[in-house]
């Protein structure tokens, strides 16, 4: 956050009223700018949705979003069954992992630190698809005089996607935390996401209706984000799923072995630094 605030000229150490007002102005300005950019990208979203034959644009957007979200959580579970979801630097390993710090607080802090940059592309994606659905449903395309309505539609989609993405990302962290409890290495965990993915593909091929019924906790809030069902019901379900996932992470992390997590993640931290700074290359 210091990096991004420095770009717009905001000093976090300045607590004056005028500086705080400037931060609100920057937030509003870039929010409107982001909505305008996503509205211009609605042509791309409309082209993607038009590839789906036999379904309405909104149904196509729901199916596409559900598929991407499900594939992401299964891939994360597979990765976290092999390596720690908590990435620590060498300083973290010394100052945090080797001390009797509360494991639950560390897990929650690292989760939200990773979720914020991971959730923003999902929010932007559903906003773009919402604009694309409106564009496909309007013969004249996007009408800029209706920009407040587009902002409301985009906010509706993003407000549900963010807690829903948090719920399933937290579920993947619960999966990774189970493997890091004490000194046990549960090798069979990595086969669970593979098995689930196989079952999903089989149901998609032979019993698509049953698959949609099983994926109702994902499909319903996403549909609410696109205006198919009640926004309040969809938002409440997304928040409930996020709360249950966070509670699960809170319950499985008291015996989290941070020493194992730091050993598995220090090299990954160096790799990420090398990609950002440049000049050095690491292989995972």
pLDDT band at 279 (very low <50, low <70, confident <90, very high): very low
How much of the chain, in percent, has pLDDT values that exceed 90? 31
Give me the number of domains the chain comprises: 1
pLDDT band at 145 (very low <50, low <70, confident <90, very high): low
Asked if residue 36 is part of any domain, the answer here is no
Asked if residue 59 is part of any domain, the answer here is yes
Tokens linked to 19 = 């500086």
Domain, as residue range, for 50: 41-277
pLDDT tens, residue by residue, 56-69: 889 999 999 999 99
How much of the chain, in percent, has pLDDT values that exceed 70? 85
Q: Is 9 left (phi over 0), alpha (psi -120 to 50) or beta?
A: left
Asked if residue 250 is part of any domain, the answer here is yes
Tokens linked to 37 = 């950019």
**Cβ neighbours of residue 61 closer than 8 Å, sequence gap 6 or more:** 45, 49, 126, 129, 130, 132, 133, 226
**Cβ neighbours of residue 236 closer than 8 Å, sequence gap 6 or more:** none
Asked if residue 45 is part of any domain, the answer here is yes
Asked if residue 151 is part of any domain, the answer here is yes
Asked if residue 10 is part of any domain, the answer here is no
Of 15-24, 105-114, 161-170, 207-216, give the range with the top mean pLDDT.
161-170
pLDDT tens, residue by residue, 220-251: 999 999 989 899 999 999 999 999 999 999 99
Contact 254, 104 (CB under 8 A): yes
The answer, yes or no, to whether residue 41 has pLDDT greater than 80, is: no
Asked if residue 11 is part of any domain, the answer here is no
Contact 162, 242 (CB under 8 A): no
Contact 237, 221 (CB under 8 A): yes
Asked if residue 195 is part of any domain, the answer here is yes
Strands (E), 88-135: none
pTM (predicted TM-score): 0.80
Of 278, 68, 54, 265, nearest in space to 176 by CA:
265
Distance of CA 116 to the CA centre of its chain: 7
pLDDT, average across residues 111-120: 89
Residue 90 — φ and ψ, nearest 5°? -65, -35
């Amino acid at each position: 956050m210091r990096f991004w605030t420095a770009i717009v000229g905001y000093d976090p150490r300045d607590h004056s009223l005028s500086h705080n007002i400037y931060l609100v102005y920057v937030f509003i300005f870039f929010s409107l700018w982001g909505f305008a950019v996503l509205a211009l990208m609605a042509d791309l979203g409309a082209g993607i949705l038009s590839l789906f034959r036999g379904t309405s644009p909104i149904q196509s957007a729901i199916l596409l979003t559900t598929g991407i979200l499900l594939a992401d959580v299964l891939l994360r579970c597979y990765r976290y069954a092999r390596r720690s979801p908590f990435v620590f630097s060498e300083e973290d390993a010394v100052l945090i992992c080797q001390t009797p710090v509360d494991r639950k607080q560390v897990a929650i802090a690292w989760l939200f630190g990773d979720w914020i940059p991971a959730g923003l592309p999902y929010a932007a994606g559903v906003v773009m698809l919402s604009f694309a659905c409106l564009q496909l449903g309007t013969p004249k395309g996007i009408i800029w005089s209706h920009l407040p309505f587009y902002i409301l539609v985009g906010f509706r989609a993003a407000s549900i996607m963010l807690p829903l993405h948090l719920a399933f990302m937290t579920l993947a962290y619960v999966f990774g935390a189970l493997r890091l409890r004490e000194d046990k290495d549960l090798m069979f965990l990595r086969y669970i996401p593979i098995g689930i993915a196989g079952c999903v593909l089989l149901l998609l091929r032979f019993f698509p209706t049953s698959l949609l019924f099983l994926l109702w906790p994902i499909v319903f809030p996403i549909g609410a984000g696109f205006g198919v069902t009640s926004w309040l019901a969809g938002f409440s379900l997304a928040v409930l799923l996020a709360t249950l996932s966070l509670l699960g992470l809170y319950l499985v992390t008291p015996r989290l072995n941070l020493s194992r997590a730091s050993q598995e993640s220090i090299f990954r931290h160096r790799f990420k630094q090398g990609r950002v700074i440049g000049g050095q290359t690491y292989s995972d």
